[in-house]
Amino acid sequence: MKARQIDGREVAAAVRAEVADDVQEWVRAGHRPPRLEVVQVGSDPASSSYIRSKTRACAEVGIEAGTMKLPDTVSARELREAVRRLNEDEGVDGILVQLPLPPHLSAHDVIEAIDHRKDVDGFHPMNVGRLVLDQPCFRSCTPAGIRELLRYYEIPVKGKHAVVVGASNIVGSPMAVMLSRENSAGKATTTICHKFTRDLTRHTIAADILIVAVGQAGLIRGEMVREGAVVIDVGINRVADESADRGYRLVGDCDYDSVADRASWITPVPGGVGPMTVAMLMKNTLLAARGSIYPR
Ligand code: NAD
């Protein structure tokens, strides 16, 4: 079987267009535009680049965005205080603390300091807990984006065996929870694998839907995938490539060619899951402004 490609750029554009329409309608109804505030600690170039792409996406859909820049010497108390001010600012709907933080700061503590009603990344324990309880919440953007891809391509999930490789708080764990809940959008039988999983292939080969979020180029090869499986590759890895302008290219966690030979659907890297993450952040910010999850 030769897999069909899941086009994340197309689906992300559709999500962003819908958000842009909804923002216009919201503003036409007399409300101020939604506002996202990004907190950046230090000046890590990769973080700056991610923030730029988020603020650009905001501008495209009519969401206002600001960046609060704090020095990498900021103390935990000062950072919590800055977050508290944003919590109390009526003009701010969504708050996002760009990770990673310098080593002297705890991401967990900062995330917990965010008002969960403004936690558009969906990382706050209140939102994670409500996800587990199958209650309305802000859902972590990458797994929410993957759920949207499956929905867009009408790929059935109910009753399927979904295997998630990778168990991080940001991607793997919320993905597995989302797919496994029996009352909302999941309804799959779900297995979660991580670095302590023995005989990974025994699990991956059993997957109807295989989601890989590890960060190791080529971890999943064709022989580890069931014929006809749906494969979602979340990984973003740099591999040296002298023919590329930048001297490297981006690849996922799957060995694309051998996996595509067996799968029925596959996401490319780049152009698969990546564009969905920012699109879902736009959606969450709109939901926060409208009070759709937590009424104001
Ligand atoms: P992480 O490092 O926090 O977690 C990696 C997970 O993989 C861990 O649970 C670990 O136990 C597991 N793991 C490591 N080696 C393994 C192995 N050999 N077999 C099975 N499991 C193994 O990473 P993360 O933040 O979840 O990100 C994972 C990848 O997804 C990275 O490449 C990251 O760049 C990418 N990512 C992409 C997006 C996007 O928008 N496309 C968003 C977030 C992360």
Question: What number is the average pLDDT over the span 4-8?
Answer: 98
Kindly state whether residues 145 and 217 are assigned to the same domain: yes
Q: Which of 54, 118, 160, 283 is catalytic?
A: 54
Kindly state whether residues 56 and 152 are assigned to the same domain: no
Q: Which atom of ligand 1 is nearest to the CA of 145?
A: 40
pLDDT at 183: 84
Assigned domain for 130 exists: no
Residue 54 is a catalytic residue: yes
Kindly state whether residues 161 and 269 are assigned to the same domain: yes
pLDDT at 31: 98
Kindly state whether residues 193 and 254 are assigned to the same domain: yes
Kindly state whether residues 49 and 145 are assigned to the same domain: no
Assigned domain for 8 exists: no
Q: What is the pTM of this model?
A: 0.97
pLDDT at 6: 98
Q: Which atom of ligand 1 is nearest to the CA of 194?
A: 21
Kindly state whether residues 167 and 70 are assigned to the same domain: no
pLDDT band per the 50, 70, 90 thresholds, residue 108: very high
DSSP 98: P
Q: Which of 22, 121, 208, 255 is catalytic?
A: 121
pLDDT at 98: 98
Residue 33 has pLDDT above 80, yes or no: yes
Peptide bond into 100 cis (omega under 30): yes
Q: Is the CB of 186 under 6 A from ligand 1?
A: no
**Of how many residues is the chain composed?**
296
Domain residues for 231? 141-273
Which residues sit opposite 68 in a β-bridge?
39
Question: What number is the average pLDDT over the span 115-130?
Answer: 98
CATH number for the domain harbouring residue 159: 3.40.50.720
Assigned domain for 278 exists: no
Question: What number is the average pLDDT over the span 106-117?
Answer: 98
Compute the distance from residue 87 Cα to the ligand 1 centre, in Å: 30
pLDDT at 81: 98
Query: Which of 90, 120, 150 marks a domain boundary?
Result: 120
**DSSP helix/strand/coil, 251:** strand
Kindly state whether residues 164 and 203 are assigned to the same domain: yes
- Return the best residue to mutate from 142, 148, 168 for the ligand 1 pocket (most ligand atoms within 8 A of CB): 168
> Which of the residue ranges 102-116, 175-189, 200-214, 277-291 would you say has the lowest mean pLDDT?
175-189
Residue 98 is a catalytic residue: yes
Assigned domain for 286 exists: no
Residue 160 is a catalytic residue: no
For 65-78, the pLDDT digits (tens) are 999 999 999 999 99
Number of other residues whose CB lies within 10 A of the CB of residue 183:
9
